[in-house]
Amino acid sequence: MDAVGKGGSVPSPVEWSDGCLRVLDQTLLPDRLEVRTLCSVQEVVDAIRRLVVRGAPVIGVCGAFGVIVGLDERRPANVGAAREELERLTVEIGQARPTAVNLSWAVERTTSAARSGATPEEIRQLALEEALRIQNEDREACRRIAAYGRAELSNARRLLTHCNTGRLATTGIGTALGIVYDKAKAGESIEVFATETRPALQGSRLTAWELARAGIPVTLLADSAAGAALASGMVEAVVVGCDRVALNGDVANKIGTYTLAVLAREADVPFYVAGPLSSFDAALHDGSGIVLEQRSPEEVRRIAAAVVAPDVPAWNPAFDITPARLTTAFITDAGVLRPPFEESIARALSRAWPN
């Protein structure tokens, strides 16, 4: 199948169909479009860890469906065994990657909803219903973020973004990129500067591909060119996604986000973080408690398949923390949250989750 080029739709990154969990293998993009069927807990965990499925909202949805994969694989004989299995799956799948709160949140939501089932069959049915609900809510959250973002950024035509926050990272139109899609759909003139996002190249492999397929003008930047781009005046706003937001507004997102936020502040360019409330962690006061995933040094020593720095030690955190003071506003499914974030985030969370 022709994976590169304009005009094609972007296949869904995660799908539950005919009782099976199917994911688009994002490690192969943009060269090949291949869908994998995940039939065991080990395959679900491995797909999440290897970035076959990636992006905070979509790993949450994948993890939620992974609970049903686990129940189908292990076939608990009675209700007690099924509840014990739910406990195990909460940990095994929910902790496959540590930083994006969406994963543990979605898995816990699914297993808690299923626990009240009176038989193994009913437990499976309740888990499936909850996973489908999480998927639908994710789609709706993307639509809302896009609408709020379009209003907030109505005067910004040239946006810089990092990593991939689009159709491949969610089950809807995306978060930061959802705003871009919505602006384009409304006929607004829009141009995106996408950072390549080393080491896994989500910007060049995924964002540039997604936008080019949608016919949206996109210019790729080496990560190290972002400062010059911001200083030159060619960028009107930076919009990124998030993996976990603390109550004070500190944000964990793809490594390099912090650098962009500092550079945007220096260049007087507004810096926005777009994401659903499911990426906010009501249990964390600030970013110091966020576990930042460390990945293999091998990813830094290579560019795609080519080894460029053999035998050299490399430091490879997958995420960094952007302190709240550098963010202009959060664009969420519950509206635009402005400083002081302690107040606006607490208000939004208590309205969304009254208990």
Active site members: 243
- Segment (H or E) for 70: helix 56-74
Amino acid found at 332: T
Tell me the closest approach of the beta carbon of residue 213 to ligand MRU, in angstroms: 18
* Least distance to ligand MRU, CB of residue 100, Å: 6
Which of these, 241, 245, 267, 265, lies nearest to 255 by C-alpha position?
A: 241
Nearest distance, CB of residue 146 and ligand MRU, angstroms: 12
Q: Which C-beta is closer to ligand MRU: that of 198 or that of 254?
A: 254
CB of 163 closer than 8 Å to CB of 241: yes
CB of 253 to ligand MRU, least distance (A): 5
Residue, CB closest to ligand MRU: 241
Cα 330 from Cα 272, distance rounded (Å): 6
Nearest-angstrom CA–CA distance, 234 and 248: 31
State which residue, 64 or 71, has the beta carbon closest to ligand MRU.
Answer: 64
CA geometry: angle 69, 71, 73, nearest 5 deg: 65
**How many CB atoms are closer than 10 A to CB 72?**
14
- Joined tokens for residue 220: 């790729």
What residues pair up with 21 in beta bridges, in sequence order? 16, 38
Write out the residues near ligand MRU by the rule CB under 6 A.
51, 54-57, 100, 163, 165, 169-170, 175, 202, 241-243, 253-254, 318
List of E strands, 201-288:
218-221, 237-240, 244-245, 251-254, 271-274
Which neighbouring-strand residues pair with 20?
17
Are residues 30 and 168 in contact, defined by beta-carbon separation less than 8 angstroms?
no
Q: Which is nearer to ligand MRU, 30 or 76 (CB)?
A: 30
Task: Report whether 99 contacts 79 (CB < 8 A).
Answer: no
CA–CA separation, 4 vs 44, rounded Å?
27
* Contact assessment for residue 238 and residue 267, using Cβ atoms and an 8 Å cutoff: no
Q: 56-74 and 79-94 are packed helices; what angle lies between their axes, rounded to 10 degrees?
A: 150
Taking the complex as a whole, the smallest distance from the CB of residue 257 to ligand MRU amounts, in Å, to 7
- What minimum distance in Å lies between the beta carbon of 129 and ligand MRU? 24
CB of 207 to ligand MRU, least distance (A): 10
Is 331 strand, coil or helix? strand
> Alpha-carbon distance 113 to 11, whole Å?
29
